[in-house]
Amino acid sequence: MSFLFGNRSSKTFKPKKNIPEGSHQYELLKHAEATLGSGNLRMAVMLPDGEDLNEWVAVNTVDFFNQINMLYGTITDFCTEESCPVMSAGPKYEYHWADGTNIKKPIKCSAPKYIDYLMTWVQDQLDDETLFPSKIGVPFRRNFMSVAKTILKRLFRVYAHIYHQHFDSVMQLQEEAHLNTSFKHFIFFVQEFNLIDRKELVPLQELIDKLTTKDR
């Protein structure tokens, strides 16, 4: 949540996606921030009583986009065409970009290019009122959950790239506590609602085991 970052002026990679104040989703976001503040992440990710699962997933997906946006924004100077000619998460895992619309056949590209494609694509989904309705009473589309799962699967890849390729830079910037807390929150959330296939999480499985074991 944004409170993790205090009032520091952080540059974000893409413009922050705001949830309109006064909306029900804004109230849900405030509820989530309050429960996160208690420090119990397992409790914080649970669906609040009486709330709609789609809306809860939507609010949190927007928030994870903002968090990753901020985290990646801190290390963009280190993630360049030269340092990261391919989008990878360690030596065994390489990601090629396709969005099914503009780029149908997966293309190999540098990490900064891939992440730019990815975050722009996510932003387009979040800005689509038919997918992420911000007005009360507007129903979610039938395919909302499958789109949300794809968004979260792709956002995970940014965490994976940062941990594998840029953790030294994160430590130099003293951002590791923010990164770990954000990622732990993300993992607890996707585990709670089975939103990412286990095989997709393999590049960070050891870290996931370490971060989640003591909270079981």
Q: What share of the chain is helix, strand, coil (3-state, %, to 5)?
A: 55, 5, 40
**If you ran DSSP here, which 8-state letter would residue 138 be given?**
P
Q: What is the pLDDT of residue 6?
A: 36
Binding-site residues for Zn(2+), please?
79, 84, 161, 166
Binding site, residues? 79, 84, 161, 166
Domain at 24-213, CATH from 1.10.10.1200, 1.20.140.30, 3.40.440.10, 2.130.10.10: 1.20.140.30
Measure the N-to-C terminal CA separation of the chain; round to a whole number of Å: 22
143, exposed or middle or buried, with CB in 10 Å at 0-12, 13-18, 19+?
A: exposed
Is the predicted pLDDT of residue 90 greater than 70, yes or no? yes
Percent with pLDDT over 90 in the chain = 68
Residue 215: the pLDDT is 58
Q: How far apart are CA 30 and CA 196, in angstroms?
A: 25
Report domain extents, the chain: 24-213
pLDDT at 16: 66
Of 44 and 6, the structure prediction assigns the larger pLDDT to 44
Total-model pTM? 0.87
Residue 10 has pLDDT above 60, yes or no: no
Reported as a pLDDT band with limits 50, 70 and 90, residue 5 is: very low
pLDDT at 8 over 60: no
6 phi and psi angles, rounded to 5 deg: 60, -145
For tokens 């309109």, the residue is 20
- Local structure of residue 39 (DSSP, 8 states): T
